[in-house]
Amino acid sequence: MTIDFALDCGIALLVLAVAGWTIVARASFAAVVGFVSFGLLVTLAWVRLAAIDVALTEAAIGSGLTGALLLGAAARLRSNETAKQAEVPGAALRIASALLAATVAATLAAAVLLLPDPAPTLAPAAAANSGATGLGNPVTNVLIAFRAMDTMLEKVVLVLALVGVWSLAADRCWGGMPSPPRGADSGDATAFLAQLLTPLGIVVGIYILWEGADHPGGAFQGGTILAAMWLLVMMAGLAKAPAISRRSLRLVLIAGPAVFLVVGLAGLWFGAAFLAYPVDHAKAVILVIEFVMTLTIAVTLALLLAGPPDREASP
């Protein structure tokens, strides 16, 4: 038994153990902590599988962003959680939900186990055409060129999610500012970290975006880091969240999908198909899309976490 094999077995066992613990944890705060640790362990598993792009995304989105969103939800639910835990659902409801969960798990397991071997893959086709875009990272190639439609719709979904969060605002606060979560006396330590880390984080975020062309990285991972830096500054009280009615903010929010759409329509007009990039300038066009997309992703994710506006717009 080699050390690598032992390491893989250890990670797999830990992932299963933490997943089980997350499910049986009674308090929602504990469950969220379990979920975040689960995400970080799954990140290690992806690194072991040499899928660095997926690992970065899992750490940034799956564990970090989702974890922070769930923490916020758990904090909001805390006041009536004990009352909820006291009431036990009826036996029929519990058996029905257990059956439903078991059926879903069994179906998923069957679908994975019954995959033909080797599993159907488009990887050889993607690798064969990788020269078409001038990018060295096959994952970025697939995301931004071969499956560009999916990526574009993903950005539209992000904007829709933000609209959903904003629609929770009270009428009098509409157009006002969200107040990101802030400890009552989080004061000096957070402010120090925000001042120290933010310049570094901005450089790292842009670096990951830029490296995404040829190495693991890209718009989503870079944008998440930028969003985290902005949130850190807002949570430390060094900057206020923007009023959601601000015109420039809304332009940035729709810039990513808009640039994507314009490029797509231009492809339809001048080229072969929707989202067909000009052959000679494919890389330049892709870079423009990725830069604008990163900005949109960063602002959208930060505002998603900042929550619905709960302060009235200043006159």
Partner 1 sequence: MSILLDIFTVVAVTAGAFFFLAGTVGLLRFPDPLTRLHALSKADNLGVGLIVLGLLPRAAGPIGALKLIAVWLLVQAAGATVSQLIARAARRGMSQP
Q: Where does this chain bind partner 1 (CB under 8 A)?
A: 183-186, 188-190, 192-193, 196-197, 200
Q: Which is nearer to partner 1, 76 or 281 (CB)?
A: 76
**CA distances to 147, 156, 177, 315 from 159, in Å:** 19, 5, 18, 26
3-state SS, residue 177 = strand
CA Rg value for the chain: 22
Query: For partner 1, which is the closer residue by CB, 170 or 203?
Result: 203
* Minimum separation from the CB atom of position 193 to partner 1 (A): 4
Return the number of the residue (130 or 198) whose C-beta is nearest partner 1.
198
How many helices (DSSP H) and strands (DSSP E) are in the chain? 13, 0
If the CB atoms of residues 28 and 190 are measured against partner 1, the closer one turns out to be 190
The least CB distance from residue 27 to partner 1, in Å, is: 15
Is the CB of residue 36 less than 8 Å from the CB of residue 67? Answer: yes
218: left (phi over 0), alpha (psi -120 to 50) or beta: left
Q: What is the DSSP letter of 307?
A: -
CB of 182 to partner 1, least distance (A): 11
Least Cβ distance, residue 189 to partner 1 (angstroms): 4
**Residue closer to partner 1 (CB basis): 235 or 299:** 235
* CA gap 191, 193 in Å, rounded: 5
CB of 297 to partner 1, least distance (A): 22
**Cα dihedral 306, 73, 156, 168 sign:** negative
